[in-house]
Amino acid sequence: GPKFITCGEIMLRLTPPNYEKLRMATNFEASYGGSEANIALALANLGVDSTFFSVVPNNSLGKSAVRWLRSNDVHCTPMILTEPDETPSNRLGTYYLETGYGIRPSKVIYDRKHSAITEYDFSQVDLDELLEGFDWLHLSGITPALAPNCRGLIIDMLKEAKKKGLTVSFDGNFRSTLWTWDEARDFCTECLPYVDVLLGIEPYHLWKDENDHSKGDWKDGVPLQPSYEQQDEIFQHFIERYPSLKCIARHVRYAHSGSENSLKAFMWYDGHTFESKLFTFNILDRVGGGDAFASGLIYAMLHNYKAMDMINFAVASSAIKHTIHGDANITDDVSSIRNLMNMNYDIKR
C-alpha cells in the first residue's frame, strides 16, 4: 500500500477533567496532540502505512510521546530523541486545553517555547534519505510558525518532496498566537508552488487586498459561511495562480446554540467544485476536527474514492472526531466513517 509521512511537533496535552475551567483545576488528564501527529495517528488507525518525523527530548516525557504514537501503529523510525547538547532547553512542548461546553468556548494555553524541535539543527538531516520510499507528504502552517529552523525545514521538505515526486498536502492551520498574519501569508505564498492538495488556507486570504471584507458574514477576507458560488470563486482564485494544485478543500463550521454544531465542506477537484452533505452533531471535544478532515481527505484520495465520496468521507471523519476525546481521530475502522458518511446511524449489533 501507499506510504505516508508527516512532520511536526507532538505536544503533551493537559486537560482538566469534566469540562472544568483551568483556573479551578486540581488535576489534569494527560494526552498528546499536534496537528500533524493527529493526522499520522488517524491514518495509521485506518490501516495506512503512516510515519511521523519529529524531535523530542530523550527523557521520560519524549519517550512517552513516542510510545503513544507507536502503540497506535505510527512508525517513528526517523524520530530524533535529543540530549541537552543538541537542544539546550530539551523540552517537550506542552499545551493546556480548557474544554468548552455549549456557549462557553474552549481555551488553549501553549507552553511550547524552546521545545526540542525549535532548537534542533536540521542541517544534519538528509531529507532525500528521509523521504525515500514515501508516496505522500503532509505538512501544516503550525510547524513553520514555531521557529526559524522549523520554517527552513518545512520549505526544504516541500522542495525535496516535489523533486522526488511525492504528493504533497498542506494545511494552512493559522495559529495567531504563534506568528503574525503577514508572516503566515508570506510563508504560505512561498509554499504554494510545491503543494498538490491544499487545506485550511482561508485565514491566509492571499486575496486580502482584493476583496471588500466589511460585509457582516465575512471574516478576514473570506465569507464565513459561503454559498457554493462564493466558495467556487475563492477556489478559482487559487487555481488561476497556482496551476499545479490538484485539490483544494475547505471545511466550514456552522455554529449553533449550545453544543450543537454543523459542518460541511467544499472541494475543488478535477475542474469542478463539490459541496458535501451537512453533518449536525453535539460536540464532546472539537480539538483536531480539522486534522480529522485532512486525514479523511488524504485517506479517500489514497484509495481513489470518487469526488463526492472523498469530500463526504472527509467531513464525516471530522464529524465523528467531535464525538471522541483527545486530539486524534481514533475511530474503529473505515466502515465506521463510511456509515456516517452514508448517514447510517443504526446501532451496530
Count of residues making up the chain: 349
Using the minimum distance from each CB to ligand KDG, give the nearer residue, 109 or 278.
109
**Distance of alpha carbon 217 from the chain centroid:** 25
Closest residue to ligand KDG in the complex (CB): 33
Instruction: Quote the CA–CA distance of 236 and 271 in Å, as a whole number.
Output: 10
Residues 136-165 close enough to bind ligand KDG by CB under 6 A? 142
The residue with cell 501553549 is 110
Amino acid at 112: R
36 vs 119, beta carbon nearer ligand KDG: 36
Number of H helices, E strands in the chain: 10, 17
Using CB under 6 A as the binding rule, the residues of this chain from 322 to 341 that contact ligand KDG are 327
Tell me the H-state helices in the chain: 35-45, 60-71, 116-119, 127-130, 148-164, 181-191, 228-241, 289-302, 307-321, 334-341
Binding-site member from 49, 98, 160, 291 for ligand KDG (CB under 6 A): 291
What's the rounded Cα separation, in Å, for the pair 239 and 179?
Answer: 26
Does the protein bind ligand KDG through residue 34 (CB under 6 A)? yes
State the minimum distance, in angstroms, from the CB of residue 318 to ligand KDG. Answer: 11
Helix, strand, or coil here: 264?
strand
Residues 162-191 that bind ligand KDG (CB under 6 A): 175
Task: CB nearer to ligand KDG: give 38 or 118.
Answer: 38
The Cα–Cα gap between 108 and 77 comes to 30
Q: Which is nearer to ligand KDG, 111 or 233 (CB)?
A: 111
Is 3 a binder of ligand KDG (CB under 6 A)?
no
Q: Are 45 and 73 in contact (CB under 8 A)?
A: yes
**Interface map 191-220 toward ligand KDG (x if CB under 6 A):** ------------------------------
CB 82 within 8 A of CB 116: yes
Stretch that binds ligand KDG, among 207-215, 282-290, 297-305, 306-314 (CB under 6 A): 282-290
Q: Give the one residue of 141, 288, 296, 326 binding ligand KDG; rule: CB under 6 A.
A: 288
Among 287, 300, 302, 337, binds ligand KDG (CB under 6 A): 287
> Which residues make Cβ contacts (< 8 Å) with residue 44, sequence separation at least 6?
50, 72, 73, 74
What does the per-residue mask of binding to ligand KDG show for 55-94, with x meaning CB under 6 A? Answer: ----------------------------------------
The residue from 33, 221, 226, 296 that contacts ligand KDG (CB under 6 A) is 33
Cβ 197 to ligand KDG, closest distance in Å?
17
Using CB under 6 A, pick the residue from 31, 38, 99, 231 that binds ligand KDG.
38
Closest CB 46 distance from ligand KDG, rounded Å: 18
Calculated CA dihedral for residues 56, 60, 63, 67, nearest 10 degrees: -140
Q: Binding segment for ligand KDG among 44-52, 59-67, 75-83, 284-292 (CB under 6 A)? A: 284-292
Check if the beta carbon of residue 72 is closer than 8 Å to that of residue 41: yes
> From the list 62, 290, 296, 326, which residue makes contact with ligand KDG (rule: CB under 6 A)?
290
Alpha-carbon distance of 53 to 311, in angstroms, equals 27
Binding site for ligand KDG (CB under 6 A): 33-35, 38, 142, 175, 287-288, 290-291, 327
